[in-house]
């Protein structure tokens, strides 16, 4: 009887904050819209972070999608990860497809793991698992998509995996994970999840 009461309390609290993927309330839609707008703006910020390959640019929009997914659940996270890149499809379709693929590969696993284990240990586990999946997705995306628009053949792209693609993407994944972890607590406190 006591276990049933505790379970009901937990479920209702999760749905009230929208953290566990509850219904799309007006508040949840508004939060999603704000995060999507921020991610869209940041998707146009391009920074060279890997001196060995200055043509590869980092954009911080992935941080926003990651925080949204961790704080408000996988549904919000995936929407925030996908919508900004739909705009880029009209300008740079191949890059947008790859960014969209990698963003979802980062946000969805992290949000699912953290929803199942909403603890500090669960957060670390979520970020590590999503980082590994994102790295694999980035390598696969480069092998499949880069030859379609760059003039490079698959062999040339494969030759870049160890010296360029892995270090650049590991650096990008680490930046996103660290900043998202730092930003998560204030976002959760504002959202009332830990109130």
What pLDDT does 188 receive?
81
* Residue 144 near residue 105 (C-beta atoms within 8 A): no
CA dist., res. 59 & res. 45, Å (int): 5
Kind and range of the H or E run holding 148: helix 120-150
Which percentage of the chain shows pLDDT scores above 70?
86
CA dist., res. 190 & res. 21, Å (int): 18
What's the structural domain count of the chain? Answer: 1
CA dist., res. 124 & res. 155, Å (int): 35
Assign residue 79 the CATH number of its domain.
1.10.1760.20
Mean pLDDT, residues 141-164 taken together: 94
Q: Tell me the helix, strand and coil percentages in the chain, rounded to 5.
A: 80, 0, 20
Q: What is the pTM of this model?
A: 0.83
Segments forming the whole domain that contains residue 143: 2-191
pLDDT digits (tens, 9 = 90+) for 10-36: 333 343 344 445 678 898 899 999 999
């Amino acid at each position: 009887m006591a276990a049933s009461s505790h379970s009901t309390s937990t479920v209702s609290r999760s749905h009230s904050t929208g953290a566990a993927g509850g219904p799309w309330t007006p508040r949840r839609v508004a939060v999603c819209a704000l995060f999507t707008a921020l991610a869209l703006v940041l998707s146009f910020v391009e920074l060279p972070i890997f001196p060995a390959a200055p043509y590869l640019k980092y954009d911080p929009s992935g941080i926003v999608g990651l925080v949204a997914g961790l704080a408000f659940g996988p549904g919000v996270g995936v929407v925030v990860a996908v919508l900004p890149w739909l705009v880029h499809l009209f300008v740079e379709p191949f890059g947008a497809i790859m960014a969209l693929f990698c963003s979802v590969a980062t946000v969805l696993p992290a949000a699912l793991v953290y929803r199942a284990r909403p603890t500090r240990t669960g957060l670390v586990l979520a970020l590590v698992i999503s980082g590994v999946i994102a790295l694999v997705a980035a390598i696969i995306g480069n092998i499949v998509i880069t030859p379609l628009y760059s003039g490079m053949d698959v062999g040339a792209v494969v030759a870049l995996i160890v010296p360029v693609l892995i270090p650049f993407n590991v650096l990008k994944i680490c930046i996103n994970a660290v900043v998202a972890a730092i930003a998560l607590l204030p976002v959760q406190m504002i959202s009332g999840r830990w109130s």
